[in-house]
Chains A and B, each alone.
Chain A
Amino acid sequence: MQDRQNWDWTPGRRIVGDFDKWRPAYEYMEEPHVSADGEKIAAIVKTGPEEFSVCVNGQPWESHFEKAWSLGFTQENCPVALVSDTAMWTVAVDGVTWNNWYEFVWNPIFSTKGSSITAAAQSELKYFALTDDIPWENSFLALTCLIATPDGKNIAAVVQDKRFAEADIDNFQQGCFTVAVNGNAWDTHYVNVWDLDFSGDGSQVAAEVRTSLYDYTIAVNGKTWDKQYSCVWAPRFHPSDGSVSAPVKLAGGWSLARNGEVIWNRRYFQLWHHIYSPDGNSIAAVTAPEFGRWTIAEDDQPWNLRFNELATDPVYSPGGDRIACVGKSGGKWYIAADDTIWDTPNDMAWQPVFSPDGSHVAAKAERDGRYTIVVDGRPVDEVFAAVMQPVFSPDGRRLLVKGILPESAGGQYCRHVFEVDALAP
């Protein structure tokens, strides 16, 4: 977990770097990424013909590569990129590459507790996952849907471990796909497997599976639910009791099932992306109670609010008593919290963030190419050329906004800490 307590929470704006002035030093600079604490800003830069590096706070890494992509930061604010030399790939952490190189590396996952880095890799057409440069002992014919536990200690992926020839539809339908956890495949195979989830303790994995061309269900550690459905969406573990829930399609529409038993009575035209409240007592989901009308439903009770185009990014407050989401109607994007839409229409809006006590909601939004942070429905008094997700201080009294100022205002990258009480309407 990020050690937010030790970040600089001094109110006011602090320029971290002259981002726009770094650009001319390179043939080009890709879009920037910012560390969680906002103290580092980095971008992949082209330093010469077919030569790339990463520029962090204006300084390029000493190492240069043939290619670099997928830049990000670990929770401990360390820049990481996938890099290639002589057509082989590895992970570079703060400019230092791992020892092992692979034919391809992709989909890096940074642990949210600790500093582990997991990625998918391929060598000699064998697929596997690796964590902190240690590859799985077993490899597979294909690998996708990689996930990791928050501490990075357990890794799972959908894998193919049975061959079938081109156009061999019979063998395919017998089931050639399964789930591998830490490199060990389940014994059971399925026609298809998608969307995995780890239990809170990392000991179980749930997956969406297709057992025949027509039957969908959920499998947990290789054992399927007793019931089959005409469709299911991604399963989620309860935060503590080990049960698994998933949207399931029934004759009258979509509903939610737990361990194979339907637990919501309503039938929705659509239901997906359900989330548990942190205490596990409630479930919220994106739903379409009527065709073409979208909202959030909590514990089978849809909000009155409807979006005509989209509802997305639902999030619970840490206490579980509030929900916020993003919605789209009439071509505009909105933030909504607790069944109430914020007035301001945006050209884009990002997943809202709750303060630790749940009393405030902040969200990144964009309008006319200018970015800002909206707090409880009111934009902060500053616009940016680019801005990152806002972060509340542990006591919830301050809000860290990390953004690049517009060119007209200097184009610098700055950290701006706001007093939340001064922002809220």
Chain B
Amino acid sequence: MNTKNNTETGADQKQIHDVAIEEGARRLTREKIHSVLSELIRTEGGARLSAYSNACVHCGMCSEACHHYLSNDRDPKLSPAGKVKQTIAVIMARKGKVGPDFMKKACEIAFTECNLCRRCMMYCPFGIDVAYLMLFIRRACHKLGVVPQYIQDTAHSHSATMNQMWVRDDEWIDTLQWQEEEARDEIPNIRIPIEKEGADIFYSVIGPEPKFRAQLIYQMAVIMHASGADWTMSATPGWDNSDMCMYTGDMEMTARLKKVHFEAATRLKTKRIVMGECGHAFRSVYDVGNRLLGWKMPPLPMVHAIEFYYEILQQGHIEIENKFEQPVTFHDPCNIVRGRGLHETARYVVDKTCKTFIELEPNREHNFCCGAGGGVINCGPPFKNKRVKSNRIKAEQLASAKSKGAEVVIAPCHNCHGGLEDIINHYELGMEIKFLADILYECMKKE
């Protein structure tokens, strides 16, 4: 593991320039900030905000849970309690009377120094949900127009196209047809059924799949075909289940995106939604967006791809021809493991498909975040070095698994892929990253 590029850490780093944060803060006045924060605390904060803000006794238990703190020489400013103290605690104590420079700093902390991974919450004796508090800060930043440029641009893409990647309607359909055509070279009569009304499964993916990783759609088509699934994908907006608006604090847009997603599934009269391998999208559909819209649970049964793989393996709908040879380790994505408890389900799939499995330590709900989740990777190039350096602890965790023989990291989440790729490159770990679908596709009997 190479740490030669980690010369600057934590508070020693140079001021990062993000044009949108700077410009947004420049337009603010103390009066505007006070007005927006007071309104937000009154209308959206309520008892939860008050309880979480007041309950912290600064015991420090959360610190050791945070990869930012651990990776930056235990800088107390980067401990979860430290981040709360620098942001929401000040806002509450001053009743929202803070200035533009404060909001700039609060924005950087909430957007780039916390992955909303909720690991700290497990170690807090009071169960304080720091992710909720940081999301509250992000919500305030959104309302004040102080949001990092790149994630704001992604939020704009969501609003204009209903997907994360500015994929236009024709490009989406064209990609599905292209992948179907490619897949037919391997399986002559395979289909990617578009707009098939009454199918059992509505399969949705995230924007980067048609844009950068179209082979994942191909692979899923092969998996669906081999398992005999009755499935479809939407030709209309709603095919993308991802949601960076949830992370910019634009909850109105989050609600709209989830509405479009659920309505694409219900319009096609499908019975359940299977989501591709993405963690934050799962959180947005299963936990956040549904509740914003008025549902206790999603209106249709909804499973992450891991659960679908589990189901088809467990019920014998697909067969594993040859197990994956290279030794693998498994990264537990925060949003589907701490958020949904899919760790054993995932391990069943790994066990069925891989010859040698080496656990990361710690693992399951104690696993360290990849550093990309929570929209941090979407804040873009200005924050990349800081992000990667704040994941030295993850690099050490991976290096340890590598020393035990692991060559491949399986991560069933797109953001985790992005984050782990950067960590592996930066620390020169020389490990490969794969989705579970990559493994399944490679090992399964296809016809």
Question: Chain A interface (Cβ within 8 Å of chain B)?
Answer: 27-28, 30-31, 46, 49-50, 67, 69-70, 103-104, 106-107, 120, 122, 127, 142, 144, 160, 166-170, 172-173, 177, 191-192, 194, 210, 213-214, 216, 230-231, 249, 251, 269-270, 272, 288, 291-292, 294, 308-310, 312, 328, 331, 347-348, 350, 366, 386
Q: A70-B235, A214-B143, A231-B255 are in contact. Are A366 and B296 (CB under 8 A)?
A: no
Expressed in whole angstroms, the Cα–Cα distance for A182 and B160 within the complex equals 21
Expressed in whole angstroms, the Cα–Cα distance for A30 and B184 within the complex equals 15
A-B contact pairs, 18 of them (CB 8 A): A30-B193, A69-B177, A69-B194, A103-B170, A104-B170, A107-B235, A122-B168, A142-B168, A167-B149, A168-B153, A169-B152, A169-B156, A213-B145, A288-B294, A292-B296, A294-B294, A310-B299, A350-B269
Expressed in whole angstroms, the Cα–Cα distance for A291 and B269 within the complex equals 24
Question: Chain A's nearest CB lies how many Å from the CB of B304?
Answer: 19
Chain B residue numbers with a CB within 8 Å of A31 are 193, 196-197
- B293 x A104 contact (CB < 8 A): no
> Does B266 sit at the interface, judged by CB under 8 A?
yes
The residue in chain A whose Cβ has the minimal distance to the Cβ of B148 is A169
- B152 x A104 contact (CB < 8 A): no
- B189 x A366 contact (CB < 8 A): no
The residue in chain B whose Cβ has the minimal distance to the Cβ of A28 is B189
> Does B31 sit at the interface, judged by CB under 8 A?
no
**Assuming A49-B188, A169-B149, A213-B250, what are 19 further A-B pairs, CB within 8 angstroms?**
A27-B188, A31-B196, A46-B189, A67-B181, A104-B170, A104-B173, A106-B170, A106-B235, A127-B168, A144-B237, A160-B160, A168-B153, A169-B20, A169-B152, A172-B153, A173-B156, A191-B159, A347-B271, A350-B269
Greatest chain A CB density within 10 A among B174, B195, B255 is at: B174
Taken residue by residue from 144 to 180, chain B's Cβ proximity to chain A (1 for < 8 Å, 0 otherwise) reads as 0100011011001001110000001110011001000
> Does B198 sit at the interface, judged by CB under 8 A?
yes
Taken residue by residue from 129 to 150, chain B's Cβ proximity to chain A (1 for < 8 Å, 0 otherwise) reads as 0000000000000110100011
Expressed in whole angstroms, the Cα–Cα distance for A295 and B18 within the complex equals 47
> Does B426 sit at the interface, judged by CB under 8 A?
no
> Does B428 sit at the interface, judged by CB under 8 A?
no
- B173 x A106 contact (CB < 8 A): yes
Taken residue by residue from 351 to 374, chain B's Cβ proximity to chain A (1 for < 8 Å, 0 otherwise) reads as 000000000000000000000000
Greatest chain A CB density within 10 A among B170, B235, B252 is at: B170
Q: A166-B153, A270-B293 are in contact. Are A27 and B189 (CB under 8 A)?
A: yes
Size of interface on B: residues with Cβ below 8 Å to A: 51
Expressed in whole angstroms, the Cα–Cα distance for A142 and B294 within the complex equals 32
> Does B102 sit at the interface, judged by CB under 8 A?
no
Within 8 A of A (CB), among B278-315: 293-297, 299-301
**Could you say which of A50, A120, A168 contacts B181, with CB atoms under 8 Å apart?**
A50
Q: A70-B235, A107-B169 are in contact. Are A210 and B159 (CB under 8 A)?
A: yes
Nearest 3 A-B pairs (CB), nearest first?
A270-B294, A292-B296, A104-B170
The residue in chain B whose Cβ has the minimal distance to the Cβ of A351 is B269
Q: A28-B189, A120-B170, A231-B252 are in contact. Are A144 and B194 (CB under 8 A)?
A: no
> Does B191 sit at the interface, judged by CB under 8 A?
yes
- B149 x A292 contact (CB < 8 A): no
The residue in chain B whose Cβ has the minimal distance to the Cβ of A288 is B294
The residue in chain A whose Cβ has the minimal distance to the Cβ of B295 is A292
Expressed in whole angstroms, the Cα–Cα distance for A106 and B177 within the complex equals 13
Question: Chain B's nearest CB lies how many Å from the CB of A201?
Answer: 27
**Could you say which of A69, A120, A173, A192 contacts B169, with CB atoms under 8 Å apart?**
A120
**Could you say which of A144, A291, A312 contacts B294, with CB atoms under 8 Å apart?**
A291
Chain A residue numbers with a CB within 8 Å of B296 are 291-292, 308
Expressed in whole angstroms, the Cα–Cα distance for A73 and B417 within the complex equals 44
The residue in chain B whose Cβ has the minimal distance to the Cβ of A349 is B269
Chain B residue numbers with a CB within 8 Å of A309 are 295, 297, 299
The residue in chain A whose Cβ has the minimal distance to the Cβ of B272 is A331
The residue in chain B whose Cβ has the minimal distance to the Cβ of A177 is B160
The residue in chain B whose Cβ has the minimal distance to the Cβ of A293 is B294
Chain B residue numbers with a CB within 8 Å of A104 are 170, 173-174
The residue in chain A whose Cβ has the minimal distance to the Cβ of B270 is A348
Expressed in whole angstroms, the Cα–Cα distance for A347 and B194 within the complex equals 21
